[in-house]
Amino acid sequence: MGIFGILMIQNIRYSQRRTQRLRSDDRQLSLMLLFQILITTVISTPYFALALYNAIAILMLRSQFSPIGLAVYNFSYNLFRLLYFTNPVLSFYIYTTTGAKFRQELKRCFQYGLNNCVPFTIQRRFFNTNGTNVIVPI
């Protein structure tokens, strides 16, 4: 992820005809990528460390756990595995909190979806003509 992120940033920087808006997008993209890599590393490291411990200590050295040690191992393994599997879900929240452009596009997608799927009477109740979110009394 880090290698492809660095290559992506370099590709954007070397593109032709750069404007100030694109530089701002570069900063947002770099910040989002930095947080994605940081959170992925923090979430993945305990799971892989426990898997490495499992491979070395339990499988190769044939260590045995006490009943309490086995309970602690199983609890930590399941907790770290749960955290590891939440990683793809966290991308949405990382992008939403760190990227202003992403939030604007997300809001536009929600409004566009409402305009095409919801009847006009319900749209009028939730949106003014200028697109701001306001509940209008019936």
- Proportion of the chain above pLDDT 90, given as a percent: 16
Taking only the tens place, the pLDDT of each residue in 10-50 is: 777 776 555 655 666 777 777 888 888 889 899 999 999 99
What's residue 75's pLDDT?
Answer: 95
- State how far the alpha carbon of 55 is from the alpha carbons of 34, 48, 66, 81, in Å: 31, 10, 18, 16
Q: For position 78, what pLDDT does the model report?
A: 94
Domain spans in the chain, listed from the N-terminal domain onward: 2-98, 99-138
